[in-house]
Amino acid sequence: MSQQYLDSDAKKSLLNNNNLSSLFMKDLRKSIRGCVIVTVLLSVLLIMPFNYYAQVKTGDLPPSFESTKIAGIAVDVIDIYPPNTEVLRSEDEQNVKNGTFLRAGVNIRVDAGLHNSGTWTNLPDGQKMWRLKIQSDGARALKLAFDDFYLSPGTQLYFYNANQKQVIGKFTADNNREDGSFYSELIQGEAVYIEYIEPSKSIDQSHFNIESIAYVYRETNLDAWYGEKTRDFGGSASCEVNINCTPVGDDWQDEKRGVARIFLLAGGGWGWCTGSLVNNTNYDETPYFLTAYHCGAADASAAELNQWQFDFNYESPDCNNPGSEPAHNTIVGATHVADGNIAGGSDFFLLELSSTPPAAANPYYNGWDNSGNVSANGVGIHHPAGDIKKISTYGSITASGSVNIGGSIMAANSAWQINWATNANGWGVTEGGSSGSPLFRDNGLIIGTLSGGSSSCTAQSSSDYYGRFSYHWNSNGGNNDAQLEPWLDPANSGTTTLAGYDPYATAPPTVGFYADKYNILEGDAVNFTDASISPSGPILSRAWTFNGGTPGTSTDENPTNIVYNTAGVYDVSLTATNANGSNSDVYQEMINVINSSVTSCDTLSQWCCTPTIYTSANGYVGGTNEYECLEVSEFFNNPYPYNSVTGARFYFAQVTSGSNPNITFKVYADDTGKPGTLLHQTNVGLNEIETAYITNGYYDLVLSESIAFPESGFYIGFTIPQSQAAGDTIALVTNDDGDSGANTGYNLYPTGWETYA
């Protein structure tokens, strides 16, 4: 709407004939430059309660704060009628988390600035002061968007709230942008004051215009920081776990640095999402940033993307929620690169930030895995409800079919289904604002981006769904703007996994590797995989040495077909080099080459697997028969090259022989995913087990015959004495939760076999 100057009758006529304007305009006040017409436009403001960073806090105070006489001068006021928040909240109940964001407020268009509003005051030192107050009843916070923004050299601009606890500024000519735009942070409360100071002599004339405000009607963290009320810090739910909690966050200190909170504008609405910087095969610091399609990809114009704000390092330094807002680093603006729709696709949005994060932001470009492989455990790192950074650990992950996210049907097999698990610090989930956040597998590589789900702090066992990175790669369409591959593998290397990248690190690689098998027969071949980490840049060269192997050396990244012809135990070493130097490591006795005639395993303790029960690990005590358990048993896969078993080692927490009953050790076939056909049993007196336990801490069972491994695997375990009154006790040591990576232990109750968990 073009600027007009109307008398009072004309203003009344306008308000009576413009229904939308009349809903939101309470009053128009006179200014020394004439009457201002404020047009309004209602639009959706997305996601969850707001929490925002301190844009500029120089310590300078507005001049009006320094003189009660000046502060007492009346200020021009633009009073905007609030929206009907009851209606909005009722609508919001239908838009929680799945596919659409929880609305937090509305955007209202305004046309007010130096040219048509405000109050001018001459200051004693010869400077001039211009002030304007914009208010709207019931607002939790307001945010200003400027166009035609230009500050002349020597001028100053401040923003503050009604109680003057939140002061932002000073802004100067250094804050001018070429496109003439400028955006304030969120200002707590129902009113925001704009104060502009102009020296007595200016080089040229400043000009700026407030084009719109964001009206926030949900509770914000700003209420706690700058309001009259007090409440706990943070907008997220109470079960969420801070990223720097020990021990759960200890192994994710690099990956967290790439994750940022997004304050987004799309289709006129504001809201929260999460995303991550991602590395590319050129290691060239291109600031690609990955989030979800439903985080504004369809609705955000180029001009709106230019206003997106990416907050890095927005987190608590420890496990406690801080009492005030933590310092963080912000990048403003991005451009659209590629996307995959949530409807019929995998829900991804790749952006390029407007500038490369500086060293002060401590950025990390997270690595990724496009192979479609997953691990039994990993984490999600996210900003639920726009709050400080949190971490959630998953306990199960499965490929999912066509997922329905709020009515949007994702493509078949384009999502991971996640169930969150407890950890040493709690049981985190996801919330609105977590959308687009990365899912990491156990090796720290991104395998998905959050689309939605039903988990919450009151439904922690419910599932969430992540668009699969492997589907994002090249399955959403044939064009570059529907794929990650052209952007994240510009070298067309065909790589399936890429390590993360720290552009400011100066360390050589940390060396690590693994083999596809460790126990082999003479003449067998082994394949090796380099798992070295080089966050300071790509690994430039590798030097492998295979003692006893043929060939004995290799410079390949992942050497294959290394043949071992002679029985023995052999070391493997690797030296990895990047631009900052080299590191080496030797895995001693890594490969066990067995004589071809020896194929019987004499003790389960020599195997590579980690059992749940009868383990030497620190853990729990089980098997004392408090729950009427009849037997315990452990599952083992068929461990090549062995084809039979002659014994097993059992670690006990307590063995006491009173009446000295026989303990029956049993071997079962795996028939239906639990102990099935009985293959063998051996009876041993409890006093014999007690003597071995007192001497060694464990008991080595020798079976009366060699048992051939069933192809599907087998179980080995023992009966538990049923008369504790007789003084007989046999109690196992079991792993801590999660140590074994699978529920391989089983108990037999009168009702049948159950997993040991």
- Catalytically active residues are 294, 347, 435
* DSSP structural state of residue 410: P
DSSP 658-723: SS-PEEEEEEEEESSSSEEEEEEEEEEEHHHHHHHHHHHSEEEEEEEEEEEPPTT-EEEEEE--S-
Contact between 621 and 687 (Cβ < 8 Å):
no
Q: Which of 344, 311, 341 is nearest to 326 (CA)?
A: 311
Q: What is d(CA 722, CA 704) in angstroms, rounded to the nearest whole number?
A: 25
Question: For residue 121, what are the β-bridge partners?
Answer: 129
Q: Which of 141, 154, 228 is nearest to 192 (CA)?
A: 141
Neighbours of 126 (CB within 10 A): 9
* DSSP structural state of residue 34: B
Q: What are the backbone angles phi and psi of residue 639, rounded to the nearest 5°?
A: -95, 90
Residue 107, helix vs strand vs coil:
strand
Q: What is d(CA 428, CA 419) in angstroms, rounded to the nearest whole number?
A: 11
Q: Which two tokens stand for residue 32?
A: 């020394």
Q: What is d(CA 226, CA 537) in angstroms, rounded to the nearest whole number?
A: 43
Q: Which two tokens stand for residue 309?
A: 């704000």
Contact between 57 and 184 (Cβ < 8 Å):
no
- Cβ-Cβ contacts under 8 Å for 33 (sequence gap 6 or more): 115, 116, 117, 118
- State the residue for tokens 């960073």: 53
Contact between 162 and 134 (Cβ < 8 Å):
no
Q: Which two tokens stand for residue 427?
A: 């049981």
Exposed/middle/buried for 551, CB within 10 Å: 0-12, 13-18, 19+?
exposed
Q: What is d(CA 520, CA 522) in angstroms, rounded to the nearest whole number?
A: 7
Q: Which stretches within 318-359 are classed as H helix?
A: none
Q: Which of 424, 448, 434, 430 is nearest to 375 (CA)?
A: 448
Neighbours of 478 (CB within 10 A): 8
Q: Maximum distance among all alpha carbons in the chain? A: 107
How far apart, in Å, are the Cα atoms of 374 and each of 132, 139, 367, 468, 547? Answer: 56, 45, 14, 10, 32
Going through 50-104 in order, the beta strands assigned E by DSSP cover 76-80
ω before 170 within 30° of 0 (cis)? yes
